[in-house]
């Protein structure tokens, strides 16, 4: 069997680096695309240079392309040269807060960059699975229209039809997405369309809070990692609205890569999956404070701002039924406590 080659965009980001390492361990040759745009978006704290060093040291024969996916000709030429057997597209402008300040760059990276890769795949490797990291922000703030109940430490759905979370048929229209959510929705629909129109094996993974120790977390992106970082450094964490009871589901990037492998082995046409930790791996900010304090033994310093972030979800966790039905081999293997421990241990090791 010829050697398989995976092209990973955003290879120095959280999910991209995890996917690169994971697929390398599973026998793939890896070519990564990343131009450290995260440092441009978020400043020095977002710099991913150290992750690139890790990829080069841990992946035999790793090839890195310092390429901007907005550069159409460069993308087309690289895919034509490589004809990869798998494309994992994680490169993005990832912050819905940041997008409002850089709308052109946000749309060019998230929507246009995805189109460049899709067209390159259609021309040069149409049988290769194309896995796109989308986001739950494609649903905008529509999940906030579900009846909610307020509990002591969190909000939750007060509608039994959402007991297991948000499924993939949840509406995306008539809601506020943030400009980031809108640009990602454009790319999400395009990935589906290339699948359905051209019969390509594509899927959109609508991620919730994807996390893990490799995240270069900042306040505007990387909820759980940034929270742990603040706790260990004694920094004050700011809670924006909803009494700190807003709920997110969390999924380790290792489990994200595991699902990607399952899809690559049995790809489908133009599919969509809500990729998260599900209800069992969900927590509110208040619950996250308690969890992190138990892991580190340090009290959380935080302040409350009454104004919620525009378009923010009051409660969101993914219904994993479709994922588990299509790919029964896959499961969430890392619980919240273990995720927090790994993040804390990596941070302490990096500092010392």
- SS3 annotation, 173-210: CCCCCHHHHHHHHHHHHHHHHHHHHHCCCEEEEEECEE
Is residue 2 scored above 70 in pLDDT? Answer: no
Which residues contact residue 54 at a Cβ distance below 8 angstroms, ignoring those fewer than 6 apart? 17, 214
CA distance 311 to 210: 19
Taking residue 261's Cβ as centre, other Cβ atoms within 10 Å add up to 19
Least confident of 60-69, 174-183, 217-226, 329-338: 217-226
Q: How confident is the model at residue 36 (pLDDT cuts 50, 70, 90)?
A: confident
Which residues contact residue 68 at a Cβ distance below 8 angstroms, ignoring those fewer than 6 apart? 35, 37, 74
Q: How confident is the model at residue 321 (pLDDT cuts 50, 70, 90)?
A: very high
Taking residue 40's Cβ as centre, other Cβ atoms within 10 Å add up to 13
Average pLDDT, the chain: 94
Specify the pLDDT at position 223: 80
Q: Per CATH, the architecture of 5-147+163-216+251-280+318-335 is what? A: 3-Layer(aba) Sandwich (3.40)
Please give the torsion angle defined by the CA atoms of residues 283, 246, 322 and 333, in that order, rounded to the nearest 10 degrees.
-20
In percent, the amount of the chain with pLDDT more than 90 equals 84
CA distance 256 to 337: 17
* Placement of tokens 């092209």 in the chain: 7
Report the largest interatomic distance among the alpha carbons of the chain, rounded to a whole angstrom: 59
The beta-carbon contacts of 189-195 under 8 Å, at least 24 apart in sequence, are 190/111, 190/114, 190/115, 190/118, 191/114, 191/118, 191/130, 191/132, 191/134, 191/270, 192/270, 192/272, 193/270, 194/118, 194/121, 194/122, 194/130, 194/270, 195/130, 195/269, 195/270, 195/271
Is residue 346 scored above 90 in pLDDT? Answer: no
This prediction has a pTM of 0.94
CA distance 8 to 132: 10
Contact assessment for residue 318 and residue 208, using Cβ atoms and an 8 Å cutoff: yes
Contact assessment for residue 203 and residue 131, using Cβ atoms and an 8 Å cutoff: yes
**What residues form DSSP beta bridges with 275?**
207
pLDDT in tens, 247-264: 999 999 999 999 999 999
Phi-psi region of 36 (alpha: psi -120 to 50; beta: other; left: phi over 0): left
Please state, in angstroms and as integers, the Cα–Cα distance from residue 268 to each residue in 15, 199, 262, 263, 294, following that order.
21, 9, 11, 8, 42
Contact assessment for residue 149 and residue 155, using Cβ atoms and an 8 Å cutoff: yes
Phi-psi region of 46 (alpha: psi -120 to 50; beta: other; left: phi over 0): alpha
């Amino acid at each position: 069997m010829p050697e398989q080659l995976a092209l990973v965009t955003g290879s120095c980001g959280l999910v991209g680096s995890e996917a690169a390492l994971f697929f390398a361990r599973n026998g793939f040759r890896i070519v990564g695309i990343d131009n450290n745009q995260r440092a441009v978006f978020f400043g020095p704290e977002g710099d991913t240079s150290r992750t690139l060093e890790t990829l080069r040291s841990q992946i035999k024969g790793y090839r890195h392309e310092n390429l901007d996916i907005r550069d159409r000709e460069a993308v087309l030429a690289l895919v034509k040269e490589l004809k990869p057997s798998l494309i994992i597209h994680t490169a993005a402008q990832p912050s819905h807060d940041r997008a409002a300040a850089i709308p052109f760059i946000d749309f060019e990276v998230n929507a246009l960059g995805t189109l460049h890769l899709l067209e390159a795949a259609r021309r040069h490797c149409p049988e290769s699975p194309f896995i796109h990291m989308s986001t739950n922000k494609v649903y905008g703030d529509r999940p906030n229209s579900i009846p909610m109940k307020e509990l002591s430490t969190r909000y939750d759905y007060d509608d039994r039809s959402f007991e297991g979370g948000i499924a993939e048929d949840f509406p995306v229209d008539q809601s506020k997405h943030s400009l980031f959510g809108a640009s990602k929705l454009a790319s999400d629909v395009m990935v589906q369309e290339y699948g359905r129109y051209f019969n390509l094996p594509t899927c959109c993974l609508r991620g919730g809070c994807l996390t893990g120790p490799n995240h270069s977390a900042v306040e505007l992106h990387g909820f759980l990692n940034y929270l742990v970082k603040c706790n260990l450094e004694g920094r004050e964490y700011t809670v924006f609205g909803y009494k700190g009871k807003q709920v997110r589901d969390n999924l380790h990037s290792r489990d994200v890569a595991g699902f990607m492998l399952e899809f690559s082995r049995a790809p489908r046409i133009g599919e969509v999956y809500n990729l998260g930790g599900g209800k069992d791996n969900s927590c509110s900010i208040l619950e996250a404070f308690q969890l992190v304090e138990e892991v580190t033994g340090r009290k959380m310093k935080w302040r409350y701002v009454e104004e919620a972030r525009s378009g923010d979800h009051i409660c969101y966790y993914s219904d994993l039924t479709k994922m588990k039905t299509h790919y029964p081999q896959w499961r969430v293997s890392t619980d919240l406590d273990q995720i927090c421990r790994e993040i804390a241990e990596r941070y302490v090791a990096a500092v010392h």
